[in-house]
Structures are given as C-alpha cells and as structure tokens.
C-alpha cells in the first residue's frame, strides 16, 4: 500500500478522490452494460450472416461452379468499382458499417454468352455483397469486444483498487487523527492537573 500523509489535508484529498471515483463508476458500469448488449447483438448478426452465407453457397454451388467456366469476356462483365464503408457510433465508439457496393458493368457480346448470364451476374453480385457484409461485421464485432475489454478493466480498477484504497486511506487517517486528538486531550488534562497541584502548593 502506498504511503500517505496522515493529515487533515490528505483526508480531504482522499474524500474528494473517493467522491470522484464513486461518481464516475456508474457511468463506466452503464457503458459496460451497453457494450455487452451490443457485443451480443453483433455476435447474433455475425452468426446469422455466417449461416446465410453458408446456406447460399450450398444452395447455389452448381451455379457458382458454372461461373468459373465462363468465357473470359463474361468474367469481366461485372466488377466492384467501389466498396462504400460508413461508420456507426455504437456506445460511444466508431465502428465500420456496410453502405453499399458500386459495380462496373461491361455488357458482353450477346452472341457468344449464355442466355442465363444476367441471372448469374446478379447471383455473383449478391454473393460478393453478402461476403463483404460478413467481413465488416467481423471487424465491427472485434472493435466492440476490444472496447468492452478496456471498459471492463476500468470498472475493475475502480471497484477493486481505487475505491477500496481511498476508503482504507480515509479509515487510517481518521484513526490517526482520532488518536492524536485523544492524546492531546489526555496531555491537556495532565497539564491542567499539574497546574492545579502547583497552585495548591503555593496557596
């Protein structure tokens, strides 16, 4: 335990510090609860996207495999030109969020492409967008979990270190000051008794 001065000034400092800790702790605890809720929601969203992605991969496995056999000009029919990523404020922190995809479409020669090319392109667009949403949700979840870890450490610091330490310091100082006051009263009584004895001897 750190050494402290057993004085009235130090007592005031410790009491002020304790008030600050006790005033700030509920704010930290509220943020911790909010983050716990958001982490749970993010995990649920992540699980949903993962399940949906795997289900669609399985449902369209044949279609996606056919796309691999497209002529080269068909494969260039559709490309992502821009991935738009926004930010959301969740429980006081900025996290990435999917805002959309911009596609660069090049119409292939209709005389050399399969009749179902348009449907295949739409399928690939949907598949790619779902994959990118899943990736961003992973990043969002990581951000929230990291912040929750930091807030949890601060809550533990206040609950288990700062507040108990301030309370113990106040207790020690109060005991010391009380003992000093008791000793002072005792010395005053002894001094008074001696004065009375001396006055009695002189009279």
Rounded Cα distance, 134 and 126, in Å: 12
Q: What is the mean pLDDT of the chain?
A: 81
CA distances from 9 to 12, 33, 107 (A): 5, 37, 81
pLDDT, tens only, 149-198: 999 999 999 999 999 999 999 999 998 888 787 766 556 666 565 665 66
Res. 82 pLDDT band, cuts 50 70 90: confident
The helix/strand/coil state of 115 is coil
Nearest to 58 by CA among 125, 127, 119, 122: 127
Rounded Cα distance, 193 and 203, in Å: 15
Rounded Cα distance, 140 and 137, in Å: 5
Q: Is the pLDDT assigned to residue 203 strictly greater than 60?
A: no
Res. 37 pLDDT band, cuts 50 70 90: very high
pLDDT, tens only, 120-159: 777 777 888 888 899 999 999 999 999 999 999 999 999 9
Please say whether the beta carbons of 91 and 33 come within 8 A. Answer: no
**Structure confidence at residue 103 (pLDDT):** 72
As a CATH number, domain 8-192 is 1.10.287.3240
- pTM, to two decimals: 0.74
**Structure confidence at residue 110 (pLDDT):** 61
**Which has more confidence, 82 or 42?**
42
**Structure confidence at residue 181 (pLDDT):** 73
How far separated are the first and last CA of the chain, in Å rounded?
56
Rounded Cα distance, 39 and 52, in Å: 20
């Amino acid at each position: 335990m750190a050494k402290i001065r057993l004085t009235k000034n130090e007592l005031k400092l410790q009491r002020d510090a304790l008030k600050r800790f006790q005033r700030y702790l509920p704010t930290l605890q509220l943020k911790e609860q909010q983050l716990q809720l958001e982490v749970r929601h993010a995990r649920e969203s992540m699980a949903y996207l993962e399940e949906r992605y795997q289900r669609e991969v399985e449902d369209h496995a044949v279609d996606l495999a056919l796309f691999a056999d497209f002529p080269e000009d068909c494969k260039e029919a559709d490309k992502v030109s821009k991935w738009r990523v926004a930010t959301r404020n969740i429980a006081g922190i900025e996290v990435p969020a999917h805002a959309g995809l911009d596609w660069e479409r090049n119409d292939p020669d209709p005389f050399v492409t399969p009749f179902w090319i348009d449907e295949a392109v739409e399928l690939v667009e949907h598949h790619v967008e779902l994959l990118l949403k899943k990736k961003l949700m992973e990043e969002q979840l990581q951000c929230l979990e990291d912040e929750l870890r930091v807030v949890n450490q601060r809550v533990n610091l206040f609950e288990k270190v700062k507040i108990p330490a301030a309370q113990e310091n106040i207790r020690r100082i109060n005991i010391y000051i009380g003992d000093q006051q008791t000793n002072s009263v005792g010395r005053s009584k002894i001094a008074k008794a001696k004065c009375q004895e001396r006055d009695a001897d002189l009279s």
